[in-house]
Amino acid sequence: MKNLGLAIIIAPISLIVVVLAVANRHPVTLSLDPFATDTPALAVTVPVFWLFFATLALGIILGGVAVWLRQGKWRRAARRNRFAASRAEREAEALKEQVAPKTALPAPGSRKAA
């Protein structure tokens, strides 16, 4: 069932990606030199869909890094709580070992109370 749900989500996305790649395969020049527009020092000619996918990948990576950095305080708190819990467990075990086992009361016999 889980694989079916994943296939229902992935299939349309894959179809859209293929259609975008086929429709946008003409070459464009990407110029990274803002000062020389007629003869740029750093320019590359690539298909449009490469630019689209590179931008998409860069956005996903930057978004993941931003989320990872924002969640640092939660990871730090979880680490601190994990250490505190293990320390409390060790302390509880030490206290259990310190308590001497109690001797059991004798079994009730046939004697009557006075």
The pLDDT tens digits for 3-58 are 888 889 999 999 998 998 899 889 998 888 888 878 888 899 999 999 999 999 99
Whole-number average pLDDT of the chain: 88
Please give the share of the chain, as a percent, with pLDDT higher than 70.
94
Nearest-angstrom CA–CA distance, 22 and 13: 14
| Three-state DSSP state, 43 | strand
Specify the range with the lowest mean pLDDT, choosing from 33-42, 56-65, 77-86, 97-106: 97-106
Query: Residue 114 has what pLDDT?
Result: 58
**Two tokens at 25?**
């395969």
The closest alpha carbon to 52, from 73, 32, 90, 22, belongs to 22
Find the helix or strand (DSSP H, E) in which 27 lies. strand 27-31
Model confidence band, residue 108 (pLDDT cutoffs 50, 70, 90): confident
Half-sphere exposure of 18 (CA within 13 A, CB side): 6
